[in-house]
Amino acid sequence: MNQATPAAAAPQPMDTEQLAPGFRSIRNRILLFSILVTLLPSLGMGWLWFDVSRQATTDKTAQKLADSAGTAEREINLWLKERQYDLRVFANSSIIRDNLRRIHAVAESTGKAAEQTRQECLVHIAGYLNLICRQFAIYRCFVVLDRQGTVLVASGDSDGGHREIGGDWQARADSSRFFFEDVSFAGDHGVPVLPLGLPLFSGAGGDHLGFLVMEVGLPELLPLLKASLPLREDSGELVALLARTGDKIIVAAGGQVSGSGQAGVTPLIGSLRDAPRQLREFDGKDGARLVGLLHPLSEVPWDLVLAENVDTVFAGLIRERNRIALITILLTVAIGGTATIVASRIILPLRALTDCVLRVAGGDLDARVPVRRQDELGIVSSMFNEMVQRLKEGQAKLEQMATTDPLTGLANRKQIMTDLEAHLEQHHRYGSDVSILMVDIDHFKRINDTHGHQAGDAVLVQVARIFRETLRSLDSAGRYGGEEFLILLGQIDIEHAMQT
């Protein structure tokens, strides 16, 4: 069924001159940005290079010291495990266990026989302890204690005696694990020693016989510490083990601290203990400025300190000055060229989008932006095309609503009269036949009064459906008003029109 559509009023074109961005256009802004980016690095990089390079050097130094501390801790833990293994081997000797069992068996007996047995057992144990003490120079002495922590027998040290080991050993030991005592400093030279102990039992699940404690000389750790951070002469580097309680140096290497057992560590590296495992600068010996970190050990209550001279660490910055100046020049050229390329890649899609926006503003709803990108500009272009398409569909829908009767879906009175004028003009110009039918529904008022207006509306809708199914595509039907319809039959003679 042909329904002529009236020509929509052409929208007034917008004044595109008012939309011209002028100097504030994105193109001009990008060009201005390119100029600034080309000029500013020569000034900005000169101010930033030192801070960036210093930070990079600091991070590298922190990573180096952290790795060295981790390596040193693993070596120290391995060294301690070896000492613990030796202690367990020594403690498993039948000489110690069998004689302790005999001492334990006569502990409550009195008389010369019991005392003689006890002394014989102690002599056997002492001989064994002296033997292993002579064979292993790293161990300064061995001590066997009873269950109450009282010294039973000890090996002799190089001075022909032994150091008494006190403390509540029984309370500090458990049934199977090793235990440590605080580091002490023996002899005139203050050699650091670590008491390492192990409970002794008569067998698996047997009676507790006592403890075996050995003193380990800690100077053996110096090679391990020096290997963790290779020291250069007169470099001001520092590697040290500190007691976590107090301010005593256990062992140290480097130009800043020498020897063991020194006090006064807190003024030297006190700031490091405030932030463990973090790189800090502090004053060393003779006012030298050091940069280092403190690494707490997990197996023993010690702290490992690694530090380097600040001047040595940042000497590379001076050598990099000329190189950074060259890099600044190259970056200036590269950034300028890159900005020019980026500007051209952004300006072209924006120009196409701007042209389409101006066309749509002028009333051309067929304008479309070509989408050749998958970035933000491509998304904007796709959304713009979709918005224009929806605008076009919305305009078509509004035009349809302006020419269609909302109840029946036929042409409204204005549209059917427009179609009538078109048919009459063709009849006068070309002599084509046209027939006009005026259709009225009889007794329609009675239907509304009897069954209600909804029933009347249903009748109108049914009649409109019959018109649409019956009429040809070149015919037109419209609701003239109320229950009256106007039907236009084109290219039909009077006989067939009467039949219709």
What's the CATH code of the domain at 120? 3.30.450.20
pLDDT the model gives residue 35: 65
Whether residue 334 lies inside any domain: the answer is no
**Residue, of 320 and 255, whose pLDDT is higher:** 320
Whether the CB-CB separation of 229 and 157 falls below 8 Å is answered with no
> Which residue is listed with tokens 């926006």?
357
Same domain, 194 and 152: yes
Task: Answer yes or no: is pLDDT of 497 > 50.
Answer: yes
**Residue, of 19 and 308, whose pLDDT is higher:** 308
Whether residue 46 lies inside any domain: the answer is no
Task: Enter the DSSP assignment of 108.
Answer: T
Same domain, 253 and 291: yes
Same domain, 203 and 265: no
Distances (CA, A) of 441 to 282, 470, 485: 107, 17, 9
Phi-psi region of 151 (alpha: psi -120 to 50; beta: other; left: phi over 0): beta
Which of 70-84, 189-203, 335-349 shows the lowest mean pLDDT across its residues? 335-349
Number of domains the chain contains: 3
Q: What are φ and ψ of residue 394, in 5° steps? A: -65, -40
Which of 20-34, 110-124, 209-223 shows the lowest mean pLDDT across its residues? 20-34
* 357 three-class SS: helix
Same domain, 257 and 201: no
Same domain, 244 and 164: no
Cβ-based burial of 99 (10 A; exposed 0-12, middle 13-18, buried ≥19)? buried
Same domain, 173 and 253: no
CATH of the domain at 455: 3.30.70.270
Whether residue 165 lies inside any domain: the answer is yes
Please measure the distance between the N-terminal and C-terminal CA atoms of the chain and give it in whole angstroms: 15
Structure tokens at 139: 């161990």
Whether residue 16 lies inside any domain: the answer is no
Domain span holding position 147: 92-220
pLDDT digit string, tens, across residues 120-176? 999 999 999 999 988 988 888 899 988 777 888 988 754 434 444 445 555 555 555
Amino acid, res. 185 = F
Same domain, 216 and 97: yes
Number of H helices, E strands in the chain: 14, 14
pLDDT digit string, tens, across residues 419-442? 888 888 888 888 788 888 888 888
Distance CA 210, CA 97 (A): 9
Distance CA 149, CA 164 (A): 11
Of the candidates 200, 220, 240, which is a domain's last residue? Answer: 220
Same domain, 98 and 203: yes
Whether residue 149 lies inside any domain: the answer is yes
When pLDDT is cut at 50, 70 and 90, the band that residue 89 belongs to is very high
Question: What is the number of other CB atoms lying within 10 angstroms of the CB of residue 24?
Answer: 8
Distance CA 438, CA 442 (A): 13
Same domain, 110 and 208: yes
Whether residue 487 lies inside any domain: the answer is yes
Of the candidates 286, 318, 350, which is a domain's last residue? Answer: 318
When pLDDT is cut at 50, 70 and 90, the band that residue 38 belongs to is low
**Residue, of 20 and 416, whose pLDDT is higher:** 416
Q: What are φ and ψ of residue 368, in 5° steps? A: -135, 145
Same domain, 185 and 251: no
pLDDT the model gives residue 257: 47
Whether residue 341 lies inside any domain: the answer is no
Structure tokens at 121: 């057992």
Whether residue 57 lies inside any domain: the answer is no
Of the candidates 299, 318, 337, which is a domain's last residue? Answer: 318
Provide the β-strand partners of residue 352. none
Distance CA 32, CA 39 (A): 11
Structure tokens at 89: 């081997």
Q: Radius of gyration of the chain from Cα atoms?
A: 51
Whether the CB-CB separation of 193 and 115 falls below 8 Å is answered with no
Same domain, 194 and 243: no
CA 422 distance to own-chain centroid: 73
pLDDT digit string, tens, across residues 93-119? 899 989 988 888 887 777 888 889 989
Same domain, 154 and 256: no
Question: What is the number of other CB atoms lying within 10 angstroms of the CB of residue 326?
Answer: 9
The helix or strand, by DSSP H or E, that contains position 492, with its residue range, turns out to be: none
Structure tokens at 394: 């919305």
When pLDDT is cut at 50, 70 and 90, the band that residue 342 belongs to is confident
Question: What is the number of other CB atoms lying within 10 angstroms of the CB of residue 68?
Answer: 20
Amino acid, res. 78 = L
Calculate the dihedral angle through the C-alpha atoms of 366, 372, 374, 380, rounding to the nearest 10 degrees: -30
